[in-house]
Amino acid sequence: MSIDKLIAENQPASFSFTKENEAEIEKILAKYPKERKASAVMPLLDLAQRQHENWIPMKAIEEIANRLDMAEIRVLEVASFYTMYNLKPVGKYFLQACTTTPCMLRGSDDMMRCIKDRLNIESGQTSACGKFSLLEVECLGACVNAPILQVNDDFYEDLDYQTTGKLLDSLEADQPLPVGSVKGRQGSESEQGATSLTALKSVASEV
């Protein structure tokens, strides 16, 4: 794929980290030996993205490359490899939908169908209102409560067509539902509740 298709056409003329992020960068760099400061590329990309309306402009790529003594193309390789980084503007609510095997078996097709029905978008697109962007991604690592939809930094689990619709309604109203399982499951316990270790015995009382 051409890099021109990955990055935004309209780019800002400049980028500089805020005073608060400069202090955060110092903390991040202190974690690595000076000769290994390129290891900080991912957290710096994350800082730049959070500062710049959830996407990373090329001027930020240049700034990070300069800070870490890296070639710009090396920073861009990292930013374009991971779906957690956006090189184009996205909506206020960035929906990352897992459709790999565990989520598919648990109904991610219904979750995706609801998003497409309600927002009229496919993976890689932003809704006409500009508020939602959708991306189909690989495993999000929460298979026990599949299917999973990541909204910005938060996970919503155990979704189906109806609950996905309720979630989208809450986001549209800027009043997101509580994160986690929409069925109220704790951790990966059964939907009927805990079936083992249902009570804790005090060890201290026996000592």
Clarify whether residues 73 and 104 are in a common domain.
Answer: no
Distance from C-alpha of 99 to C-alpha of 139, rounded to nearest angstrom: 7
Q: Is residue 50 part of a domain?
A: yes
Clarify whether residues 101 and 39 are in a common domain.
Answer: no
Which pTM was predicted?
Answer: 0.81
Q: What CATH code is carried by the domain that includes residue 45?
A: 1.10.10.1590
CA 85-144-90 angle, 5° bins: 20
Distance from C-alpha of 81 to C-alpha of 84, rounded to nearest angstrom: 9
Structure confidence at residue 1 as a pLDDT band (50, 70, 90): very low
| C-alpha distance from residue 70 to each of 11, 18, 35, 93, 176 (Å) | 21, 21, 11, 32, 39
Residue range 48-94, pLDDT digits in tens? 999 999 999 999 999 999 999 999 999 999 999 998 899 999 999 99
Maximum separation of any 2 CA atoms in the chain, in Å: 69
Residue range 101-134, pLDDT digits in tens? 999 999 999 999 999 999 999 999 999 999 999 9
CB 152 within 8 A of CB 94: yes
Clarify whether residues 136 and 110 are in a common domain.
Answer: yes
The sign one gets for the Cα dihedral 32, 33, 34, 36 is negative
